[in-house]
Amino acid sequence: LLQYHDPELSSFLDTKRITPDTYALPWLRSLFASTCTLPVIQNIDQLLAGELDTKQAIIEVLTSFPSGLEAEDIEDFCSLSQYYASRTPQSFRRDYQGPLFGASLVPVKEEFEVSVTQALCLPVSVAELLQACQPGAGDGVKYFVVDCRPAEQYNNGHLPTAFHLDANLVCINLKIINLLTYMFV
């Protein structure tokens, strides 16, 4: 979810090997019950300024974020949550909402964690992708589509925003794979 809405932060946390469960579970368990204090704001500033470089320091700051909420912030917080929920692809919500936010506190299955953490991008259903490409689709999520079909099929028809990448050529040349991994991850 973070990869959709804040790819830069997602990438930063990935490079530090910080998974969402290390900071989000305490938020959900406390239901944001704490109040905001000056140290919380200072920690946020430190994190955003890049002053924190150890994994544990970053986790501690992220874990303390919900304590920054005041009673008067709740309406804005809920509006912001609704804004991001409306821009989260429905297929993502359908496939991942249960394991991520289900009623159970049972740990997520390992195969789920591997499928999400190893993906170069998160999957979106074809129907949702086509709907987003329609004129007048609004200000929803914009997708960068890599079309890996053979050139003949691509030339017979493709989405206007699609980037063609012939999978046969990629399999032959590992340098292309390394370049793409560097560009898109």
DSSP code per residue over 103-114: S--SPPPHHHHH
Beta strands in the chain (DSSP E): 145-147, 162-164
What is the domain range of residue 149? 126-184
| Average pLDDT, rounded, for the chain | 70
pLDDT in tens, 29-66: 443 334 345 565 556 556 655 666 777 877 777 777 77
Query: Does 179 fall in a domain?
Result: yes
- Provide the domain count of the chain: 2
Query: Is the residue at 63 inside a domain?
Result: yes
14 and 73, same domain (yes or no): yes
As a whole number, mean pLDDT of residues 151-179 equals 78
pLDDT in tens, 71-88: 788 788 788 888 877 777
Return phi, psi of residue 163, to 5°.
Answer: -105, 125
- Residue 141: what pLDDT? 64
- Of the candidates 57, 87, 117, which is a domain's last residue? 87
| Whether 79 and 149 share a structural domain | no
- Assigned domain for 176 exists: yes
- Residues 132 and 83 occupy one common structural domain: no
- Of 125, 161, 128, nearest to 146 by C-alpha is 161
Please report, for residues 4, 61, 83, 112, 132, the alpha-carbon distance to residue 12 in angstroms, rounded to integers and kept in the order given.
14, 14, 23, 21, 28
The reply to whether 13 and 75 lie within a common domain is yes
Question: So what's the pLDDT on residue 162?
Answer: 84
Of 87, 115, 143, at which residue does a domain stop? Answer: 87
Predicted pLDDT of residue 50: 65
